Amino acid sequence: MKQALATVVQEICKKYDFDKQRMMDIVLGVQGRFGCISVEAMDLIAEMVGSHRVEVESVVTFYSFLSLKPQGKVVIRLCDDIVDWMKGYDAVADAMSKALGITMGETTSDGAITLTKTPCIGMSDQAPAALVNDVVVTNLSPERAQDLIHNLRRHLDPQQLVTTVGDGNHSHPLIRSMVRNNIRRRGPVHFADFEAGQALKATLAMDPEAVIATIRASRLRGRGGAGFATGLKWELCRNTPSDRRYVLCNADEGEPGTFKDRVLLTECAAQVFEGMTIAGYAIGADTGIVYLRGEYAYLRPYLEQVLEERRANGLLGRQIQGHPSFHFDIRIQMGAGAYVCGEETALISSCEGHRGDPKNRPPFPPQCGYLDRPTIVNNVESFSAAARIMLKGAPWFEAIGSERTTGTKLLSVSGDCRKPGVYEVPFGISAREVLELAEADNPGAVLIGGPCRQMLGPDRFSGRICYDDLATGGAFIIFNRARNKLAIAERYLDFFIDESCGHCTPCRVGLQLLKNLVHKVVTGAGEPSDLAEMRRLSNIIIQTSRCGLGQAAPNPVLGALENFSALYTDLVSERSPGLLSTFDLSRAVVDAELRVGRQSKYV
Amino acid sequence: MKHIEFTIDGKTMTAKPGQTILKAAEAHGVYIPHLCAYKDLIPHGSCRVCSVRCNGRIQAACVQTVSEGMIVENDTPEIHEFRKAILDMLFVEGNHFCMFCEKSGQCELQALAYRFGITAPQFPLLEPERELDMSHPDVYLDHNRCILCGRCVRVSQDLDNKNCFQFVGRGHRKRLKVNGEALAETDLRVTDAVVASCPVGALMKKRVGYAIPIGERHFDQQPIGHAIEEKNS
Give how far Cα B36 sits from Cα of B44, B52, B110, B177, B200, Å.
Answer: 6, 15, 14, 17, 11
Task: Please tell me the distance in Å from B221's CA to the nearest CA on chain A.
Answer: 29
Which residues in chain A are contacts of B122 at CB distance < 8 A? none
User: What is the rounded distance in angstroms from the CA atom of residue A375 to the CA atom of residue A366?
Assistant: 5
Are A294 and A336 in contact by the 8 Å Cβ rule? The answer is yes
**pLDDT value at position A599?**
84
Q: Which residue of A has its CA nearest to B94?
A: A509
**Mean pLDDT to the nearest integer, A66-91:** 96
Q: Is B196 exposed, middle or buried (0-12, 13-18, 19+ CB in 10 A)?
A: exposed
Greater confidence, B76 or A1? Answer: B76
Of A58, A61, A543, the CB nearest to B82: A543
Q: pLDDT tens digits, residue range A396-429?
A: 999 999 988 999 999 999 999 999 999 999 999 9
For residue B83, count other CB atoms closer than 10 A to its CB.
25
Best residue of A65, A354, A497, A544 to probe chain B, by most B CBs closer than 10 Å = A544
User: What is the rounded distance in angstroms from the CA atom of residue B131 to the CA atom of residue B138?
Assistant: 18
User: What is the rounded distance in angstroms from the CA atom of residue A467 to the CA atom of residue A475?
Assistant: 14
Q: Which residue of A has its CA nearest to B187?
A: A52
Task: Please tell me the distance in Å from B7's CA to the nearest CA on chain A.
Answer: 19
Whether residue A310 sits in one domain with residue A215: yes
Which helix or strand (DSSP H or E) is residue B84 part of? helix B77-93
Of B82, B93, B164, the CB nearest to A544: B82
Task: Please tell me the distance in Å from B211's CA to the nearest CA on chain A.
Answer: 32
- The reply to whether B171 touches chain A by the CB within 8 Å rule is yes
- The reply to whether B185 touches chain A by the CB within 8 Å rule is no
Would the CB atoms of A544 and B163 count as touching at under 8 Å? no
Ordered alpha helix ranges (H), A205-295: 208-218, 230-239, 260-267, 269-283
Would the CB atoms of B81 and A540 count as touching at under 8 Å? yes
- The reply to whether B125 touches chain A by the CB within 8 Å rule is no
User: What is the rounded distance in angstroms from the CA atom of residue A469 to the CA atom of residue A280?
Assistant: 32
Does the pLDDT value for residue A1 go beyond 60? no
**Mean pLDDT to the nearest integer, A144-148:** 97
Which distant-in-sequence residues (6+ apart) come within 8 Å of B97 by Cβ?
none
Give how far Cα A330 sits from Cα of A25, A277, A370, Å.
Answer: 15, 8, 14
Of A39, A104, A105, nearest to A68 by C-alpha is A39
Whether residue A258 sits in one domain with residue A135: no
User: What is the rounded distance in angstroms from the CA atom of residue B90 to the CA atom of residue B113?
Assistant: 10
How many percent of chain A have pLDDT more than 70?
A: 100
A to B CB pairs, distance under 8 Å: 123
Give how far Cα A339 sits from Cα of A46, A81, B54, Å.
Answer: 26, 13, 29
- The reply to whether B24 touches chain A by the CB within 8 Å rule is no
User: What is the rounded distance in angstroms from the CA atom of residue B141 to the CA atom of residue A98?
Assistant: 43
Whether residue A229 sits in one domain with residue A157: no
**pLDDT value at position A190?**
98
ipTM over 0.85: yes
Would the CB atoms of A500 and B170 count as touching at under 8 Å? yes
Whether residue A54 sits in one domain with residue A28: yes
Best residue of A39, A60, A339, A505 to probe chain B, by most B CBs closer than 10 Å = A505
Which residues in chain B are contacts of A508 at CB distance < 8 A? 93, 148, 171-172, 174
User: What is the rounded distance in angstroms from the CA atom of residue A211 to the CA atom of residue A387?
Assistant: 11
Whether residue A362 sits in one domain with residue A220: yes
The angle at the Cα of B88, spanning B84 to B91, to the nearest 5 degrees, equals 145
Q: pLDDT tens digits, residue range B65-109?
A: 999 999 999 999 999 999 999 999 999 999 999 999 999 999 999
**Mean pLDDT to the nearest integer, A137-165:** 97
Does the pLDDT value for residue B1 go beyond 70? no
Would you call A375 helix, strand, or coil by DSSP? strand
Residue A530: band (very low, low, confident or very high) from pLDDT cuts 50, 70, 90 = very high
> Which residues in A80-166 belong to E strands, given as ranges?
113-118, 130-132, 135-137
Question: What residues are paired with A291 via a beta bridge?
Answer: A250, A333
Task: Please tell me the distance in Å from A512's CA to the nearest CA on chain B.
Answer: 8
Would the CB atoms of B167 and A355 count as touching at under 8 Å? yes
Whether residue A349 sits in one domain with residue A290: yes
Task: Please tell me the distance in Å from A86's CA to the nearest CA on chain B.
Answer: 26
Does the pLDDT value for residue A145 go beyond 80? yes
- CATH of residue A113: 3.40.30.10
Q: Which residue of B has its CA nearest to A53?
A: B179
Does the pLDDT value for residue A113 go beyond 90? yes
Chain A residues whose C-beta is within 8 A of a chain B C-beta are 52-55, 57-58, 61-62, 338, 340, 355-356, 360-362, 497-506, 508-513, 516, 537, 540, 543-546, 582
User: What is the rounded distance in angstroms from the CA atom of residue A242 to the CA atom of residue A597?
Assistant: 71
Residue A486: band (very low, low, confident or very high) from pLDDT cuts 50, 70, 90 = confident
Q: pLDDT tens digits, residue range A29-41?
A: 999 999 999 999 9
User: What is the rounded distance in angstroms from the CA atom of residue B162 to the CA atom of residue B153?
Assistant: 9
Would the CB atoms of B86 and A505 count as touching at under 8 Å? yes
Would the CB atoms of A355 and B179 count as touching at under 8 Å? no
User: What is the rounded distance in angstroms from the CA atom of residue A412 to the CA atom of residue A211?
Assistant: 30
Task: Please tell me the distance in Å from A520's CA to the nearest CA on chain B.
Answer: 12
Residue A59 backbone phi and psi in degrees, to 5: -70, -50
Domain hosting residue A549, numbered range:
489-569
Report the relative pairing of strands A113-118 and A74-79 from DSSP bridges.
parallel
Does the pLDDT value for residue B233 go beyond 70? no
3-state secondary structure labels for all residues of A473-489: CCEEEEEECCCCHHHHH
The DSSP output letter for A448 is E
CA atoms within 13 A on the CB side of B217: 20
Residue A394: band (very low, low, confident or very high) from pLDDT cuts 50, 70, 90 = very high
Q: pLDDT tens digits, residue range A465-483?
A: 999 999 999 999 999 999 9
CATH of B4-84+225-230, one of 1.10.3720.10, 3.20.20.10, 3.10.20.740, 3.40.630.10: 3.10.20.740
Which helix or strand (DSSP H or E) is residue A246 part of? strand A246-251
Greater confidence, A450 or A295? Answer: A295
Residue A199: band (very low, low, confident or very high) from pLDDT cuts 50, 70, 90 = very high
Question: What residues are paired with B53 via a beta bridge?
Answer: B58, B73
Greater confidence, B108 or A574? Answer: B108
**Mean pLDDT to the nearest integer, A364-373:** 97
Q: Is A44 exposed, middle or buried (0-12, 13-18, 19+ CB in 10 A)?
A: buried
Q: Alpha carbon A47 to chain centroid distance?
A: 32
Of A256, A366, A357, A275, nearest to A316 by C-alpha is A275
Would the CB atoms of A506 and B89 count as touching at under 8 Å? yes
Which helix or strand (DSSP H or E) is residue A443 part of? strand A443-448
Task: Please tell me the distance in Å from B180's CA to the nearest CA on chain A.
Answer: 7
Which helix or strand (DSSP H or E) is residue A410 part of? strand A408-415
Would the CB atoms of A508 and B166 count as touching at under 8 Å? no
Residue type, A119: P
Whether residue A346 sits in one domain with residue A205: yes
Which residues in chain A are contacts of B168 at CB distance < 8 A? 54, 57-58, 61-62
Would the CB atoms of B171 and A501 count as touching at under 8 Å? yes
Of A52, A58, A544, the CB nearest to B167: A58
Q: Alpha carbon B33 to chain centroid distance?
A: 9
Would the CB atoms of A497 and B51 count as touching at under 8 Å? no
Of A498, A499, A544, the CB nearest to B86: A544
Q: pLDDT tens digits, residue range B118-129?
A: 999 999 999 999
Which residues in chain B are contacts of A62 at CB distance < 8 A? 168-170
Report the domain count for chain A: 5
**pLDDT value at position A48?**
97
Would the CB atoms of B47 and A355 count as touching at under 8 Å? no
Are A18 and B145 in contact by the 8 Å Cβ rule? The answer is no
Whether residue A140 sits in one domain with residue A95: yes
Question: What residues are paired with A376 via a beta bridge?
Answer: A247
Q: Which residue of B has its CA nearest to A496?
A: B171
Which residues in chain B are contacts of A498 at CB distance < 8 A? 171
| Residues making up chain A, counted from first to last | 603
For residue B9, count other CB atoms closer than 10 A to its CB.
14
Residue A317 backbone phi and psi in degrees, to 5: 105, -150
Of A62, A511, A544, the CB nearest to B58: A544
Which distant-in-sequence residues (6+ apart) come within 8 Å of A21 by Cβ?
A352, A353, A371
Question: What residues are paired with B167 via a beta bridge?
Answer: B176
- CATH of residue A188: 3.40.50.11540
Whether residue A367 sits in one domain with residue A290: yes
Are A300 and A309 in contact by the 8 Å Cβ rule? The answer is no
Give the gyration radius of chain B's Cα atoms: 18
- CATH of residue A460: 3.10.20.600
CA atoms within 13 A on the CB side of B18: 2
**Mean pLDDT to the nearest integer, A308-336:** 97
Residue A591: band (very low, low, confident or very high) from pLDDT cuts 50, 70, 90 = confident
For residue A182, count other CB atoms closer than 10 A to its CB.
19
Would you call B83 helix, strand, or coil by DSSP? helix
Query: Average per-residue pLDDT in chain A?
Result: 95
Q: Which residue of A has its CA nearest to B84?
A: A540
User: What is the rounded distance in angstroms from the CA atom of residue B12 to the CA atom of residue A600?
Assistant: 66
- The reply to whether B45 touches chain A by the CB within 8 Å rule is yes
Task: Please tell me the distance in Å from A545's CA to the nearest CA on chain B.
Answer: 8
Does the pLDDT value for residue A182 go beyond 70? yes
Question: What residues are paired with A289 via a beta bridge?
Answer: A248, A331
Q: Which residue of A has its CA nearest to B42?
A: A360
Greater confidence, A453 or B83? Answer: B83
Give the gyration radius of chain A's Cα atoms: 25
Q: pLDDT tens digits, residue range B180-227?
A: 999 999 999 999 999 999 999 999 999 999 999 999 999 999 999 999
Which distant-in-sequence residues (6+ apart) come within 8 Å of A294 by Cβ?
A63, A65, A334, A335, A336, A337
* Whether the bond into A362 is cis, omega within 30 of 0: yes
- The reply to whether B3 touches chain A by the CB within 8 Å rule is no
CA atoms within 13 A on the CB side of A16: 25
CA atoms within 13 A on the CB side of A361: 20
Whether residue A413 sits in one domain with residue A302: no
User: What is the rounded distance in angstroms from the CA atom of residue A454 to the CA atom of residue A352?
Assistant: 33
Which distant-in-sequence residues (6+ apart) come within 8 Å of A338 by Cβ?
A62, A63, A64, A254, A346, A350, A356, A499, A501, B170
Are A402 and A427 in contact by the 8 Å Cβ rule? The answer is yes
Which residues in chain A are contacts of B170 at CB distance < 8 A? 61-62, 338, 340, 355-356, 499-502
Which helix or strand (DSSP H or E) is residue A456 part of? strand A455-456
Q: Sketch the domain layout of chain B as residue ranges.
A: 4-84+225-230
- The phi-psi region of residue A372 (left if phi > 0; otherwise alpha if psi is between -120 and 50; otherwise beta) is left
How many percent of chain A have pLDDT more than 90?
A: 89
Residue A584: band (very low, low, confident or very high) from pLDDT cuts 50, 70, 90 = confident
Of A7, A47, A10, nearest to A26 by C-alpha is A10
